[in-house]
Structure 1
Amino acid sequence: MDATTSVTLDLPDGRTLRAHATTGDPDAGVVVWHHGTPQSGALLAPVVEAAARRGLRVVSYGRPSYGGSSARPGRDVASAAGDVAAVLDAFGITRAAFVGASGGGPHALACGALLGERATAVVSLAGLAPFDGFDWAAGMASDAALRAAARGRDERAALADDDGVAGFVEADWAALRGAWGALGEDAGPAGQAWPDGAIDDDVAYASPWGFALADVRVPVLLVHGGLDRVVPPAHGRRLLDLLPDAQLWQRPHDGHVSVLHALPVALDWLVDLTA
């Protein structure tokens, strides 16, 4: 894996953020990776390797209550944009593309909507849509955590032990045994170490996001697996309907994790945008 550096940022509101970046050519394109729920925010080898093969640097960070980042009570999805701006400043980065997997998808879209000219594009892999205007639970293997989150943080906290893997299909387990093993190795300990991160994530997903998808003016690539029972394919179609400049790649034989095999091609899409 490429050489990396990590920093702990002290923010004006008294919080800290733990962030990580690959080093290298300062003029290289940058991808900000938005992790799923739960994860530590550490750099993942398959992300770094796919980016490096395309001449891209990677930045990642732990959302509040994850991976050494302090809590941000009551955070919404939109709040990620301000945190990411601080991370970019810390690494001396002017512009970036934002890539999110699963719960990272909404946070990547927030950056695309709110960071203006600093945003070049967004990729959302198996990302959630806002929970309004369509039957967001249809096809989910388990919607208990998100339904509880919609009723408030206290109710979601009562389900903090939900492991979130009920919807995995065999293609997902195969991905975790293979190229995406690093994700599983990170997610399990992250869920145990930082349960508040997952609780606050779910409450943010099930509440108003704090920005309109119509305000995402950069190009967006949506990638969704047809077998996904964690975030069903209807979420990808809903996002496609709501975003001004988006395209949807549907992968009929992929689930929630195995769809990440599309990351290298999605990064090719990003590179082609600026070629």
Structure 2
Amino acid sequence: MTTAGTRHDVRLADGRTLAVHDTGPFAPGGPADALTLVWHHGSPQTGALLEPLVRATRPRHIRLVSYGRPSYGGSSPLPGRDVGSAARDVEQVADALGLGRFAVMGSSGGGPHALACAAALGDRVTGVATFASPAPYAGDEAWFAGMADDAALRAALLGRDARARFQLTAEFDASVFVAADWDALAGPWAAMNDDVALAASAGSDGLVDDDVALARPWGFELGQVGAPVLVVHGEVDRMIPVAHADALLRGCPRADLWLRPRDGHVSVLSAVPVALDWLLDHAHDGVGDLSPVDQRRPGQPAPA
């Protein structure tokens, strides 16, 4: 199930509105320096608060904020948007909610949008965690290698009209998920399954725009991401292959990589609680001195 929280329709400077969901200020008794996390949903989803995220953030006294990207969950469309536009939107959301510094986390298509915030907003972003995130398209076939179904993204390379035409007859290829993914969607992450269906029932504009944005220049370079980055990826992911995680690791100046050898595209989210602890540990790191890329692979963190 999704958790209602408080919904804010945040009006942006260009007249658009974003549907924003917020668990609200910290409860009395929480730490004075408690963390705020802005969640970036996958494609397609509505941006509503997913119960597993609320369940993981609440005992850690983390304020959870999520929003629907343009054309999702009641948010206004933004024709021609790139990935980098998410940072401008989130900055205005943060201002509207009175947020100072915050961490960002994104799953699948939300991962690049979380990275965009860190690239553009400097030390306002304390840390980034991505799950099963694609890397920037570098213009070669390697980007598609290992994808069980790459047809939608190949259509996106041809532009929005081509991607929208493809969607008219597109069918979901169940082979993109491994058994662990189906178990996650039937169990702890059933809320995501329901939210995907709700988003899809409202139309495909958000999904089409996401794919086109991913297949084009993102509007920023990974080298601009000064905050600490945790890249979490399942080694048997058949939707976004693990080579994308390696590309993110090498592109971000302060990156750690956690590989999950038995996880696929969805089941990798079982590491969310551990990633939250990582973000808490790095919440007060400085961003002035960029260390070399950390290529250690700490292994599979135990779920909390």
Name the TM-score class by shorter chain. Answer: over 0.9
Taking structure 2 as the reference length, the TM-score comes to 0.87
> Aligned partner of 2:260: which letter?
R
**Rg comparison, structure with higher value:** 2
Distance of 2:216 and 2:242 partners within structure 1: 20
**Per-residue deviation, 1:191:** 1.7
User: Is it true that 1:51 corresponds to 2:57 in the alignment?
Assistant: yes
The correspondence of residues 33-52 of structure 1 with structure 2, limited to 5 A, is 33-52=39-58
Residue 268 of structure 2 is aligned with which of 244, 259, 268?
A: 259
Q: Summarize deviations over 1:14-53 as a string: whole Å, max 9, x none.
A: 2111101102328531000000000000010101110112
Determine the structure 2 residue equivalent to 1:69: 75
User: Is it true that 1:149 corresponds to 2:172 in the alignment?
Assistant: no
Determine the structure 2 residue equivalent to 1:14: 15
Report the 3-state secondary structure (helix = DSSP H, G, I; strand = E; otherwise coil) of the residue aligned with 2:249.
Answer: helix
Determine the structure 2 residue equivalent to 1:94: 100
The correspondence of residues 106-125 of structure 1 with structure 2, limited to 5 A, is 106-125=112-131
**Per-residue deviation, 1:2:** 7.8
Preserved CA contact (<8 Å) 1:18 1:69: yes
**Per-residue deviation, 1:162:** 4.0
Kindly tell me: are residues 79 and 165 of structure 1, through their superposed partners in 2, closer, same or farther at Cα, counting changes over 3 Å? farther
**Per-residue deviation, 1:241:** 1.0
Among all aligned residue pairs of Structure 1 and Structure 2, give the percentage whose two residues are the same amino acid: 56
Kindly tell me: are residues 143 and 3 of structure 1, through their superposed partners in 2, closer, same or farther at Cα, counting changes over 3 Å? closer
**Per-residue deviation, 1:202:** 0.1
Residue 239 of structure 2 is aligned with which of 212, 230, 252?
A: 230
Kindly tell me: are residues 274 and 118 of structure 1, through their superposed partners in 2, closer, same or farther at Cα, counting changes over 3 Å? closer
Q: Summarize deviations over 1:211-262 as a string: whole Å, max 9, x none.
A: 0100000000000001100000000011111110001000010000000000
Distance of 2:203 and 2:143 partners within structure 1: 26
Determine the structure 2 residue equivalent to 1:4: 5
**Per-residue deviation, 1:267:** 0.4
Determine the structure 1 residue equivalent to 2:185: 176
> Aligned partner of 1:13: which letter?
D
Determine the structure 2 residue equivalent to 1:24: 25
User: Is it true that 1:268 corresponds to 2:277 in the alignment?
Assistant: yes
Distance of 1:198 and 1:3 partners within structure 2: 23
Q: Summarize deviations over 1:150-184 as a string: whole Å, max 9, x none.
A: 11001100122443644011100000011000000
> Aligned partner of 2:204: which letter?
P
Report the 3-state secondary structure (helix = DSSP H, G, I; strand = E; otherwise coil) of the residue aligned with 2:133.
Answer: coil
**Per-residue deviation, 1:72:** 0.2
The correspondence of residues 174-213 of structure 1 with structure 2, limited to 5 A, is 174-213=183-222
Distance of 1:19 and 1:166 partners within structure 2: 33
> Aligned partner of 1:122: which letter?
V
Give unpaired runs (5+ residues) of structure 2: 285-304
Determine the structure 1 residue equivalent to 2:257: 248
Distance of 1:205 and 1:56 partners within structure 2: 29
Preserved CA contact (<8 Å) 2:3 2:50: no
Distance of 2:174 and 2:24 partners within structure 1: 34
RMSD, matched Cα: 1.6
- The number of residues matched between the two structures is 275
**Per-residue deviation, 1:117:** 2.1
Preserved CA contact (<8 Å) 1:67 1:194: no
Kindly tell me: are residues 240 and 192 of structure 1, through their superposed partners in 2, closer, same or farther at Cα, counting changes over 3 Å? same
Q: Summarize deviations over 1:85-139 as a string: whole Å, max 9, x none.
A: 1111111101110000000000000001001121100001000100106611111
> Aligned partner of 1:203: which letter?
V
Preserved CA contact (<8 Å) 1:22 1:58: yes
> Aligned partner of 2:263: which letter?
D
Taking structure 1 as the reference length, the TM-score comes to 0.96
Distance of 1:25 and 1:2 partners within structure 2: 17
Report the 3-state secondary structure (helix = DSSP H, G, I; strand = E; otherwise coil) of the residue aligned with 2:66.
Answer: strand
**Per-residue deviation, 1:12:** 1.9
> Aligned partner of 1:30: which letter?
T
Kindly tell me: are residues 207 and 213 of structure 1, through their superposed partners in 2, closer, same or farther at Cα, counting changes over 3 Å? same
Deviates more, 1:160-169 or 1:184-193: 160-169
Preserved CA contact (<8 Å) 1:225 1:251: yes
Report the 3-state secondary structure (helix = DSSP H, G, I; strand = E; otherwise coil) of the residue aligned with 1:274.
Answer: coil
Preserved CA contact (<8 Å) 1:122 1:218: yes
Which portions of structure 1, spanning 4 or more consecutive aligned residues, are displaced by more than 3 angstroms? Answer: 161-166
